[in-house]
Each structure stands twice: as structure tokens, then as C-alpha cells.
Chain A
Amino acid sequence: GNSVTQMEGPVTLSEEAFLTINCTYTATGYPSLFWYVQYPGEGLQLLLKATKADDKGSNKGFEATYRKETTSFHLEKGSVQVSDSAVYFCALSGTGTASKLTFGTGTRLQVTL
């Protein structure tokens, strides 16, 4: 079946540091890939997405590139802010089961001044 593996957290960074959160996946066919963010006490917000190989999703300074050869979708941001502190989830939507998202375990990011 489909699965998503994310790096363990928490990740603690100083403001303006570079962020990378690793995500790899296992899936048949050509899944769509997503990053969601969850702030305390809230639901999930879609951060960015990529639907085919070599696509780059980007939003609010965050980027991730769909790498089929390494089955990866790593999240990056050049300069994090305190307001980026949240839990980040990598997810995939498989071929033929388009409305079922498979999530990684989530990575908590804490950004300090």
C-alpha cells in the first residue's frame, strides 16, 4: 500500500535559519504529493502541492520538488520565522484513490528568536 515517511521531530531552529524537512514515499503509479501545516488547535491547511514528477510546489516561501527517481518531496524554506512554528505533514494521494490522503507522522517545527 501507500506510505509516507517523514523525519522525526521536533526540529528547533533560530529565526532566519534554513529549513529542510525530509519526506519520502512509497506508492504505485503517479501519486500527487502535498505538504499540510497544522497550527495549535486548528485543522490542516494545504501549504503546497505537486501533481507530477519534477513539479515544484511553492507557497509563502516554502518549496518542495516532486522527485520520482528518489521518491522524495522534501520541504524547504530559506529563512524561517517564529510564525512558522507548527506541525508539518507530508501526504500523498494515490492514483485511483484520489480523495484518500495518506499522511506522514508529522514534524513539529519550533522557531525561536
Chain B
Amino acid sequence: KAGVTQTPRYLIKTRGQQVTLSCSPISGHRSVSWYQQTPGQGLQFLFEYFSETQRNKGNFPGRFSGRQFSNSRSEMNVSTLELGDSALYLCASSSGTAPYNEQFFGPGTRLTVL
């Protein structure tokens, strides 16, 4: 079974630009979650999509948004980039069913904002 894929793997943008990251979950998985990893803040939950609906949301500003398509692929968008948005963005997929979800992570997209 193919794992979680994320594209692109590396991205360089300048302040004020916007960026879109993509995540393809494991086949059959309906939940996609996004996390931001930085040296200072560690791993922080951004949001989760399940069957095209946002189900959970972390404490990030509205510049961070996402969506999920009918094939469960997900995109994350960051508008008006700031230097502090430089991070590794990780996507995780799971079946999405309670009581717990084993989440499988992709390799991440390394975003650098100049």
C-alpha cells in the first residue's frame, strides 16, 4: 500500500506571497490532518479534514486554511506569508474512525519564507 505523499517537498517563498501544499493520503483513509513543526514551537496541530469537512481546528490564524476533495486528497493554503511561517508542514492520514486513529505521516513539505 502506498504511503502518504506530500508535494512539493521543498518550497521557497517571500513574505506576502501565498502557498499551497498538497497531501495524498493512504488509499481508503478518509481523514487528513496537518501539523506544523518548528524548532521553537515543536509539533502543532493545524486542522483535520474528514470526508471533505473540517472536523478539528488548532489555534492558528485565518491565514492558514485547508480543504479536502472527494478523493480524500487535501490541500493546505497559507496566505500573506510571514517569516515565522517557515517550518516543516506534515500531513497525516488515518481512517478517521473513533475511538482512536493510528495516523500515518508523510515526509513533509519544508517551507522557507524569505
Contact = CB atoms under 8 A, between A and B. Distances in A.
Contacts of A99: 31, 33, 48, 50, 55-56, 94, 96, 101, 103
Interface in A19-68: 32, 36, 42-46, 49, 51
A84 to B, nearest CB: 19
A103 B106 CA distance: 17
Contacts of B33: 99-101
Interface string B80-114: 00000000001010101111111111111000000
Report, nearest first, the 10 A-B pairs whose CB atoms are least far apart: A32-B100, A103-B43, A43-B105, A44-B105, A43-B107, A99-B48, A100-B56, A43-B108, A98-B101, A98-B98
B84 to A, nearest CB: 18
B64 interface: no
Interface string A62-76: 000000000000000
Contact of B42 (A46, A51, A100, A105): A105
A36 B102 CA distance: 11
Contacts of B42: 103-106
Contact of A32 (B31, B96, B99): B99
A45 B100 contact: no
